[in-house]
Protein backbone atom coordinates (compact mmCIF):
# COMPACT_ATOMS: atom_id res chain seq x y z
CA UNK A 1 0.00 0.00 0.00
CA UNK A 2 1.12 3.53 -0.78
CA UNK A 3 0.92 5.78 2.27
CA UNK A 4 -0.45 9.32 1.90
CA UNK A 5 1.59 11.54 4.18
CA UNK A 6 -0.41 14.76 4.05
CA UNK A 7 -4.07 15.79 4.25
CA UNK A 8 -6.44 15.41 1.28
CA UNK A 9 -9.95 16.92 1.26
CA UNK A 10 -12.65 15.01 -0.63
CA UNK A 11 -15.94 16.68 -1.60
CA UNK A 12 -18.80 14.29 -2.34
CA UNK A 13 -21.29 15.35 -5.02
CA UNK A 14 -24.59 14.53 -6.70
CA UNK A 15 -26.49 12.26 -9.07
CA UNK A 16 -24.75 9.95 -11.57
CA UNK A 17 -21.29 11.33 -10.96
CA UNK A 18 -21.64 10.62 -7.23
CA UNK A 19 -22.37 6.96 -8.04
CA UNK A 20 -19.33 6.81 -10.33
CA UNK A 21 -17.21 8.73 -7.81
CA UNK A 22 -17.66 6.02 -5.17
CA UNK A 23 -16.83 3.28 -7.68
CA UNK A 24 -13.62 5.09 -8.67
CA UNK A 25 -12.64 5.52 -5.05
CA UNK A 26 -13.18 1.88 -4.09
CA UNK A 27 -12.04 0.20 -7.32
CA UNK A 28 -9.07 2.33 -8.41
CA UNK A 29 -7.78 4.25 -5.38
CA UNK A 30 -8.33 2.55 -2.02
CA UNK A 31 -6.95 -0.90 -3.06
CA UNK A 32 -3.55 0.78 -3.53
CA UNK A 33 -3.56 3.97 -1.44
CA UNK A 34 -3.70 4.17 2.36
CA UNK A 35 -4.92 7.59 3.53
CA UNK A 36 -4.87 6.66 7.19
CA UNK A 37 -6.45 9.66 8.92
CA UNK A 38 -5.44 12.01 6.11
CA UNK A 39 -8.69 11.93 4.12
CA UNK A 40 -11.20 14.56 5.25
CA UNK A 41 -14.60 14.12 3.59
CA UNK A 42 -17.21 16.87 3.09
CA UNK A 43 -20.74 15.94 2.03
CA UNK A 44 -21.68 18.56 -0.60
CA UNK A 45 -24.74 16.71 -1.87
CA UNK A 46 -27.73 18.96 -2.48
CA UNK A 47 -29.58 17.23 0.36
CA UNK A 48 -26.83 18.13 2.82
CA UNK A 49 -26.54 21.70 1.53
CA UNK A 50 -30.28 22.14 2.05
CA UNK A 51 -29.69 21.29 5.72
CA UNK A 52 -26.45 23.22 6.33
CA UNK A 53 -26.59 25.88 3.60
CA UNK A 54 -23.64 27.31 1.72
CA UNK A 55 -21.64 27.35 4.96
CA UNK A 56 -20.73 23.68 4.50
CA UNK A 57 -19.19 24.53 1.11
CA UNK A 58 -17.19 27.39 2.61
CA UNK A 59 -15.97 25.02 5.33
CA UNK A 60 -14.78 22.64 2.59
CA UNK A 61 -12.98 25.50 0.82
CA UNK A 62 -11.19 26.47 4.03
CA UNK A 63 -10.15 22.87 4.60
CA UNK A 64 -8.81 22.61 1.02
CA UNK A 65 -6.75 25.77 1.48
CA UNK A 66 -5.30 24.45 4.73
CA UNK A 67 -4.56 20.99 3.31
CA UNK A 68 -3.28 22.20 -0.06
CA UNK A 69 -5.21 19.46 -1.89
CA UNK A 70 -8.90 19.07 -2.67
CA UNK A 71 -10.80 16.57 -4.85
CA UNK A 72 -14.37 17.49 -5.78
CA UNK A 73 -17.15 15.47 -7.37
CA UNK A 74 -19.63 17.26 -9.64
CA UNK A 75 -22.47 18.96 -7.71
CA UNK A 76 -25.91 20.38 -8.49
CA UNK A 77 -26.34 24.15 -8.61
CA UNK A 78 -30.08 24.62 -8.06
CA UNK A 79 -31.86 26.93 -10.49
CA UNK A 80 -34.55 29.41 -9.42
CA UNK A 81 -37.31 26.79 -9.63
CA UNK A 82 -35.32 24.30 -7.54
CA UNK A 83 -34.51 26.97 -4.93
CA UNK A 84 -38.23 27.70 -4.57
CA UNK A 85 -38.89 23.97 -4.21
CA UNK A 86 -36.31 23.49 -1.43
CA UNK A 87 -37.17 26.82 0.22
CA UNK A 88 -33.60 28.07 0.19
CA UNK A 89 -31.36 29.98 -2.20
CA UNK A 90 -28.10 28.07 -2.65
CA UNK A 91 -25.12 29.32 -4.62
CA UNK A 92 -22.90 27.28 -6.93
CA UNK A 93 -20.50 25.18 -4.81
CA UNK A 94 -17.84 25.60 -7.49
CA UNK A 95 -18.19 29.36 -7.35
CA UNK A 96 -17.95 29.49 -3.55
CA UNK A 97 -14.78 27.37 -3.54
CA UNK A 98 -13.17 29.27 -6.42
CA UNK A 99 -14.02 32.64 -4.91
CA UNK A 100 -12.37 31.61 -1.63
CA UNK A 101 -9.26 29.99 -3.10
CA UNK A 102 -8.69 32.40 -6.01
CA UNK A 103 -6.15 31.38 -8.64
CA UNK A 104 -6.75 29.93 -12.09
CA UNK A 105 -8.61 26.95 -13.50
CA UNK A 106 -6.48 24.85 -15.83
CA UNK A 107 -8.04 22.44 -18.31
CA UNK A 108 -6.05 19.89 -20.28
CA UNK A 109 -7.31 17.49 -22.95
CA UNK A 110 -6.78 13.78 -22.33
CA UNK A 111 -5.63 12.64 -25.75
CA UNK A 112 -6.29 9.08 -26.94
CA UNK A 113 -4.86 8.23 -30.34
CA UNK A 114 -7.92 6.28 -31.51
CA UNK A 115 -10.50 8.96 -30.61
CA UNK A 116 -10.94 11.21 -33.66
CA UNK A 117 -10.67 14.95 -33.10
CA UNK A 118 -13.62 16.99 -34.30
CA UNK A 119 -11.15 19.73 -35.26
CA UNK A 120 -8.75 17.69 -37.34
CA UNK A 121 -5.95 20.26 -37.43
CA UNK A 122 -5.36 20.06 -33.66
CA UNK A 123 -2.31 17.81 -33.41
CA UNK A 124 -1.01 19.39 -30.17
CA UNK A 125 -2.87 20.07 -26.89
CA UNK A 126 -4.56 23.39 -26.15
CA UNK A 127 -4.51 24.28 -22.46
CA UNK A 128 -7.15 26.63 -21.06
CA UNK A 129 -6.10 28.98 -18.22
CA UNK A 130 -9.37 30.41 -16.89
CA UNK A 131 -9.66 33.02 -14.17
CA UNK A 132 -11.33 31.33 -11.21
CA UNK A 133 -13.87 34.03 -10.34
CA UNK A 134 -15.45 37.43 -11.15
CA UNK A 135 -16.80 38.44 -14.56
CA UNK A 136 -20.24 37.19 -15.63
CA UNK A 137 -20.04 34.44 -13.00
CA UNK A 138 -19.97 37.04 -10.21
CA UNK A 139 -22.52 39.61 -11.42
CA UNK A 140 -24.65 41.41 -8.85
CA UNK A 141 -28.11 41.79 -10.33
CA UNK A 142 -31.07 44.02 -9.57
CA UNK A 143 -34.49 44.17 -11.20
CA UNK A 144 -35.71 47.67 -11.99
CA UNK A 145 -39.40 48.39 -11.60
CA UNK A 146 -40.70 51.82 -12.30
CA UNK A 147 -39.06 54.84 -13.86
CA UNK A 148 -35.82 56.50 -12.76
CA UNK A 149 -32.12 57.16 -13.13
CA UNK A 150 -29.42 54.46 -13.01
CA UNK A 151 -25.88 55.19 -11.83
CA UNK A 152 -22.72 53.57 -10.51
CA UNK A 153 -21.09 55.14 -7.48
CA UNK A 154 -17.88 54.66 -5.50
CA UNK A 155 -17.13 56.24 -2.11
CA UNK A 156 -13.46 56.52 -1.15
CA UNK A 157 -13.00 55.11 2.35
CA UNK A 158 -10.36 57.66 3.38
CA UNK A 159 -11.40 60.90 1.71
CA UNK A 160 -15.11 60.21 1.56
CA UNK A 161 -15.15 61.50 -2.01
CA UNK A 162 -17.89 59.95 -4.11
CA UNK A 163 -17.36 59.17 -7.80
CA UNK A 164 -20.44 58.58 -9.92
CA UNK A 165 -21.22 57.51 -13.46
CA UNK A 166 -24.68 57.81 -14.96
CA UNK A 167 -25.72 54.56 -16.65
CA UNK A 168 -29.07 55.83 -17.92
CA UNK A 169 -30.69 59.22 -17.40
CA UNK A 170 -34.19 57.87 -17.70
CA UNK A 171 -35.15 54.21 -17.75
CA UNK A 172 -37.93 51.90 -16.64
CA UNK A 173 -38.74 48.23 -16.01
CA UNK A 174 -35.60 46.25 -16.69
CA UNK A 175 -32.59 44.71 -15.03
CA UNK A 176 -29.06 45.84 -14.18
CA UNK A 177 -25.95 43.78 -13.56
CA UNK A 178 -22.59 44.88 -12.18
CA UNK A 179 -19.32 43.08 -11.47
CA UNK A 180 -16.04 44.08 -9.92
CA UNK A 181 -12.52 42.68 -9.70
CA UNK A 182 -9.47 44.03 -7.93
CA UNK A 183 -6.25 44.60 -9.85
CA UNK A 184 -4.19 42.32 -7.56
CA UNK A 185 -6.41 39.36 -8.55
CA UNK A 186 -5.75 39.97 -12.24
CA UNK A 187 -2.02 40.27 -11.51
CA UNK A 188 -2.09 36.91 -9.70
CA UNK A 189 -3.99 35.40 -12.64
CA UNK A 190 -1.35 36.71 -15.04
CA UNK A 191 1.50 35.25 -12.99
CA UNK A 192 -0.25 31.89 -12.67
CA UNK A 193 -0.93 31.70 -16.40
CA UNK A 194 2.64 32.63 -17.28
CA UNK A 195 4.14 30.18 -14.80
CA UNK A 196 2.02 27.45 -16.38
CA UNK A 197 3.13 28.45 -19.90
CA UNK A 198 6.77 28.34 -18.76
CA UNK A 199 6.20 24.90 -17.19
CA UNK A 200 4.62 23.57 -20.41
CA UNK A 201 7.13 25.49 -22.58
CA UNK A 202 4.31 26.78 -24.76
CA UNK A 203 3.30 30.25 -26.01
CA UNK A 204 0.58 32.07 -24.07
CA UNK A 205 -2.34 34.05 -25.48
CA UNK A 206 -4.68 36.28 -23.46
CA UNK A 207 -8.09 36.96 -25.00
CA UNK A 208 -10.64 39.56 -23.88
CA UNK A 209 -12.89 42.06 -25.67
CA UNK A 210 -11.05 45.22 -24.62
CA UNK A 211 -12.37 47.14 -27.64
CA UNK A 212 -15.81 47.03 -26.00
CA UNK A 213 -15.02 46.84 -22.26
CA UNK A 214 -12.17 49.33 -22.46
CA UNK A 215 -11.71 49.62 -18.69
CA UNK A 216 -12.66 46.16 -17.40
CA UNK A 217 -11.14 43.99 -20.11
CA UNK A 218 -8.54 46.67 -20.77
CA UNK A 219 -7.22 46.20 -17.22
CA UNK A 220 -6.61 42.51 -17.94
CA UNK A 221 -4.75 43.44 -21.11
CA UNK A 222 -2.60 46.09 -19.39
CA UNK A 223 -1.76 43.99 -16.31
CA UNK A 224 -0.80 40.92 -18.35
CA UNK A 225 1.52 43.04 -20.49
CA UNK A 226 3.14 44.60 -17.42
CA UNK A 227 3.67 41.25 -15.70
CA UNK A 228 5.13 39.79 -18.89
CA UNK A 229 7.52 42.69 -19.52
CA UNK A 230 8.66 43.03 -15.89
CA UNK A 231 8.74 39.41 -14.69
CA UNK A 232 8.53 36.82 -17.47
CA UNK A 233 9.87 38.10 -20.78
CA UNK A 234 13.40 36.77 -20.32
CA UNK A 235 12.11 33.37 -19.10
CA UNK A 236 9.83 33.10 -22.14
CA UNK A 237 12.61 34.07 -24.56
CA UNK A 238 15.03 31.56 -23.00
CA UNK A 239 12.53 28.82 -23.87
CA UNK A 240 11.73 30.15 -27.34
CA UNK A 241 8.12 30.94 -26.44
CA UNK A 242 6.15 34.20 -26.42
CA UNK A 243 3.12 36.03 -24.98
CA UNK A 244 0.51 37.81 -27.14
CA UNK A 245 -2.84 39.51 -26.58
CA UNK A 246 -5.52 38.76 -29.20
CA UNK A 247 -9.17 39.85 -29.12
CA UNK A 248 -11.32 36.87 -28.18
CA UNK A 249 -13.35 36.70 -31.42
CA UNK A 250 -10.16 36.76 -33.48
CA UNK A 251 -8.56 34.19 -31.16
CA UNK A 252 -11.46 31.75 -31.59
CA UNK A 253 -10.92 31.84 -35.35
CA UNK A 254 -7.15 31.52 -34.91
CA UNK A 255 -7.55 28.54 -32.55
CA UNK A 256 -9.79 26.67 -34.99
CA UNK A 257 -7.23 27.04 -37.80
CA UNK A 258 -4.21 26.26 -35.60
CA UNK A 259 -2.36 23.03 -34.89
CA UNK A 260 -2.80 23.62 -31.16
CA UNK A 261 0.20 23.76 -28.88
CA UNK A 262 -0.49 26.84 -26.75
CA UNK A 263 -1.94 28.08 -23.45
CA UNK A 264 -5.08 30.23 -23.78
CA UNK A 265 -5.84 32.59 -20.87
CA UNK A 266 -9.33 34.03 -20.46
CA UNK A 267 -11.66 35.63 -17.95
CA UNK A 268 -13.97 33.39 -15.94
CA UNK A 269 -17.03 33.10 -18.18
CA UNK A 270 -15.10 33.27 -21.45
CA UNK A 271 -12.89 30.43 -20.22
CA UNK A 272 -15.93 28.40 -19.18
CA UNK A 273 -17.43 28.60 -22.67
CA UNK A 274 -14.23 28.10 -24.66
CA UNK A 275 -12.98 25.21 -22.52
CA UNK A 276 -16.08 23.23 -23.55
CA UNK A 277 -15.40 24.15 -27.17
CA UNK A 278 -11.78 23.00 -26.89
CA UNK A 279 -12.65 19.80 -25.00
CA UNK A 280 -15.24 18.80 -27.57
CA UNK A 281 -12.85 19.72 -30.37
CA UNK A 282 -10.37 17.18 -29.03
CA UNK A 283 -13.04 14.47 -28.90
CA UNK A 284 -15.15 14.66 -25.73
CA UNK A 285 -15.94 16.72 -22.64
CA UNK A 286 -15.36 13.50 -20.74
CA UNK A 287 -11.71 13.48 -21.86
CA UNK A 288 -10.61 16.59 -20.00
CA UNK A 289 -8.82 17.11 -16.70
CA UNK A 290 -9.69 20.24 -14.75
CA UNK A 291 -8.10 21.73 -11.66
CA UNK A 292 -7.86 25.02 -9.83
CA UNK A 293 -4.36 26.14 -8.89
CA UNK A 294 -3.54 29.12 -6.69
CA UNK A 295 -0.98 31.51 -8.13
CA UNK A 296 1.64 30.36 -5.59
CA UNK A 297 1.09 26.73 -6.75
CA UNK A 298 0.61 25.62 -3.13
CA UNK A 299 -3.07 24.63 -3.46
CA UNK A 300 -4.75 22.49 -6.10
CA UNK A 301 -8.46 21.59 -6.17
CA UNK A 302 -9.48 19.14 -8.86
CA UNK A 303 -12.86 18.27 -10.36
CA UNK A 304 -14.54 16.93 -13.48
CA UNK A 305 -15.24 19.73 -15.95
CA UNK A 306 -18.81 18.51 -16.63
CA UNK A 307 -22.00 18.25 -14.61
CA UNK A 308 -23.75 15.52 -12.67
CA UNK A 309 -25.23 13.79 -15.80
CA UNK A 310 -28.82 13.93 -14.58
CA UNK A 311 -30.32 12.03 -17.53
CA UNK A 312 -28.07 9.02 -16.87
CA UNK A 313 -28.93 9.18 -13.16
CA UNK A 314 -32.63 8.87 -13.98
CA UNK A 315 -31.87 5.76 -16.07
CA UNK A 316 -29.75 4.36 -13.23
CA UNK A 317 -32.62 4.86 -10.75
CA UNK A 318 -34.93 2.98 -13.13
CA UNK A 319 -32.48 0.09 -13.16
CA UNK A 320 -31.47 0.68 -16.76
CA UNK A 321 -27.82 0.37 -17.88
CA UNK A 322 -25.89 3.56 -18.49
CA UNK A 323 -22.67 4.29 -20.34
CA UNK A 324 -21.24 7.36 -18.60
CA UNK A 325 -17.65 8.42 -19.22
CA UNK A 326 -15.75 8.47 -15.86
CA UNK A 327 -12.35 9.62 -17.17
CA UNK A 328 -12.63 13.26 -16.06
CA UNK A 329 -13.50 12.14 -12.51
CA UNK A 330 -10.68 9.57 -12.46
CA UNK A 331 -8.25 12.30 -13.49
CA UNK A 332 -9.64 14.50 -10.72
CA UNK A 333 -8.37 11.87 -8.27
CA UNK A 334 -5.03 11.40 -10.00
CA UNK A 335 -4.22 15.12 -10.41
CA UNK A 336 -5.00 15.80 -6.76
CA UNK A 337 -3.00 12.84 -5.46
CA UNK A 338 -0.10 13.77 -7.74
CA UNK A 339 -0.02 17.24 -6.15
CA UNK A 340 -0.15 15.67 -2.68
CA UNK A 341 2.77 13.47 -3.67
CA UNK A 342 4.75 16.43 -4.99
CA UNK A 343 4.14 18.45 -1.83
CA UNK A 344 5.31 15.53 0.33
CA UNK A 345 8.10 14.38 -2.03
CA UNK A 346 6.23 11.06 -2.14
CA UNK A 347 7.54 9.65 -5.43
CA UNK A 348 5.63 6.38 -5.00
CA UNK A 349 2.30 8.23 -4.90
CA UNK A 350 3.20 10.38 -7.91
CA UNK A 351 4.20 7.28 -9.87
CA UNK A 352 0.90 5.59 -8.99
CA UNK A 353 -1.09 8.50 -10.42
CA UNK A 354 0.91 8.35 -13.65
CA UNK A 355 0.17 4.63 -13.94
CA UNK A 356 -3.58 5.13 -13.41
CA UNK A 357 -3.70 7.81 -16.13
CA UNK A 358 -1.72 5.67 -18.57
CA UNK A 359 -3.99 2.69 -17.86
CA UNK A 360 -7.09 4.78 -18.58
CA UNK A 361 -5.69 5.93 -21.93
CA UNK A 362 -4.42 2.45 -22.84
CA UNK A 363 -7.81 0.93 -22.01
CA UNK A 364 -9.55 3.32 -24.41
CA UNK A 365 -6.89 2.83 -27.07
CA UNK A 366 -7.40 -0.93 -26.80
CA UNK A 367 -11.01 -0.39 -27.96
CA UNK A 368 -12.75 -0.55 -24.59
CA UNK A 369 -14.76 2.64 -24.04
CA UNK A 370 -18.07 4.24 -23.09
CA UNK A 371 -20.81 5.17 -25.55
CA UNK A 372 -19.78 8.81 -26.05
CA UNK A 373 -16.32 7.77 -27.23
CA UNK A 374 -17.58 4.85 -29.31
CA UNK A 375 -19.98 7.27 -31.01
CA UNK A 376 -17.06 9.51 -31.94
CA UNK A 377 -15.55 6.54 -33.82
CA UNK A 378 -18.81 6.28 -35.79
CA UNK A 379 -19.03 10.02 -36.56
CA UNK A 380 -21.65 10.35 -33.79
CA UNK A 381 -24.18 8.25 -35.69
CA UNK A 382 -25.91 7.01 -32.55
CA UNK A 383 -28.72 5.31 -34.43
CA UNK A 384 -26.27 2.83 -36.00
CA UNK A 385 -24.72 1.83 -32.68
CA UNK A 386 -25.37 -1.45 -30.88
CA UNK A 387 -24.55 -2.58 -27.34
CA UNK A 388 -21.55 -4.45 -28.76
CA UNK A 389 -19.92 -1.15 -29.73
CA UNK A 390 -19.36 0.10 -26.17
CA UNK A 391 -19.19 -0.82 -22.49
CA UNK A 392 -21.60 0.22 -19.77
CA UNK A 393 -20.41 2.57 -17.04
CA UNK A 394 -19.51 -0.20 -14.63
CA UNK A 395 -18.11 -2.57 -17.25
CA UNK A 396 -15.71 0.17 -18.31
CA UNK A 397 -14.64 0.86 -14.72
CA UNK A 398 -14.16 -2.87 -14.14
CA UNK A 399 -11.96 -3.07 -17.25
CA UNK A 400 -9.79 -0.19 -16.03
CA UNK A 401 -9.56 -1.83 -12.58
CA UNK A 402 -8.53 -5.13 -14.18
CA UNK A 403 -5.83 -3.43 -16.28
CA UNK A 404 -4.61 -1.45 -13.28
CA UNK A 405 -4.22 -4.62 -11.21
CA UNK A 406 -1.99 -6.14 -13.87
CA UNK A 407 0.21 -3.01 -13.88
CA UNK A 408 0.56 -2.68 -10.10
CA UNK A 409 2.04 -6.17 -9.62
CA UNK A 410 -0.14 -6.73 -6.57
CA UNK A 411 -2.17 -9.79 -5.57
CA UNK A 412 -5.57 -9.73 -7.24
CA UNK A 413 -8.23 -8.37 -4.94
CA UNK A 414 -11.98 -8.74 -4.85
CA UNK A 415 -12.90 -5.14 -5.72
Tally of CB atoms within 10 A around 373: 24
Burial track 200-221 (b if 16+ CB lie within 10 A, e otherwise): bebbbbbbbebeeeeebbebbb
Distance CA 50, CA 397 (A): 31
Task: Give per-residue pLDDT as tens, 218-236.
Answer: 999 999 999 999 999 999 9
Tell me what pLDDT residue 380 has: 63
Contacts of 212 (CB under 8 A, 6+ apart): none
1-112+284-415 CATH pick, 3.40.718.10, 3.40.50.300, 3.20.20.80, 3.40.50.1100? 3.40.718.10
Tell me what pLDDT residue 152 has: 80
Distance CA 303, CA 101 (A): 14
Tell me what pLDDT residue 117 has: 85
Distance CA 81, CA 153 (A): 33
Consecutive sets of 10 residues in the chain, 415 residues long: mean pLDDT of each?
Answer: 96 96 96 96 95 96 97 91 86 89 88 88 92 64 77 80 79 76 86 92 94 87 96 96 95 93 92 85 84 88 88 94 94 97 96 96 95 82 75 96 83 39
Tell me what pLDDT residue 411 has: 43
Distance CA 149, CA 395 (A): 61
Contacts of 317 (CB under 8 A, 6+ apart): none
Distance CA 393, CA 203 (A): 38
**Contact of 268 with 133, CB cutoff 8 Å:** yes
Tell me what pLDDT residue 413 has: 38
Task: Give per-residue pLDDT as tens, 302-311.
Answer: 998 788 999 9
130 strand-pairing partners: 105, 266
Tell me what pLDDT residue 383 has: 66
Answer left, alpha or beta for residue 211, where phi above 0 means left and psi between -120 and 50 means alpha. alpha
For CATH 3.40.718.10, list the domain ranges present in the chain.
Answer: 1-112+284-415, 117-138+180-282
**Contact of 46 with 108, CB cutoff 8 Å:** no
**Contact of 260 with 125, CB cutoff 8 Å:** yes
Tell me what pLDDT residue 415 has: 34
CATH number of this structure's domain 117-138+180-282: 3.40.718.10
Q: How far is CA 316 from CA 18, 241, 350, in A?
A: 12, 48, 34
Taking the CA atoms of residue 272, residue 274, residue 278 and residue 283 in that order, the dihedral angle to the nearest 10 degrees is 60
Tell me what pLDDT residue 138 has: 61
Side by side, which strands form the sheet with 288-293? Answer: 39-43, 8-12, 69-72, 300-303, 288-293, 104-109, 126-131, 262-266, 204-207, 243-245
Distance CA 378, CA 365 (A): 15
Tell me what pLDDT residue 280 has: 83
Amino acid sequence: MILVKGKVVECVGDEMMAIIWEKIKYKLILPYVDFGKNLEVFDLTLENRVIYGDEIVLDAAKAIKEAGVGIKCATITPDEKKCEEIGKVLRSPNHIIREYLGGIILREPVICENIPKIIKSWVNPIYIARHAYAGNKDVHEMCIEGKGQLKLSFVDEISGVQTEKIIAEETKDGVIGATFIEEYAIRAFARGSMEFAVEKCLPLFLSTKSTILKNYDGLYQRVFQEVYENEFKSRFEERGIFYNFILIDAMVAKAMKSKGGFVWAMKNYDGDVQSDFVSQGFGSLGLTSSYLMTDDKKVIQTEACHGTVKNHFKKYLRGEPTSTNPIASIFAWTKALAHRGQLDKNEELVKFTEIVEKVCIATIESGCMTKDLAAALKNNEFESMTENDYLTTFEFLDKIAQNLRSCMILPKMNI
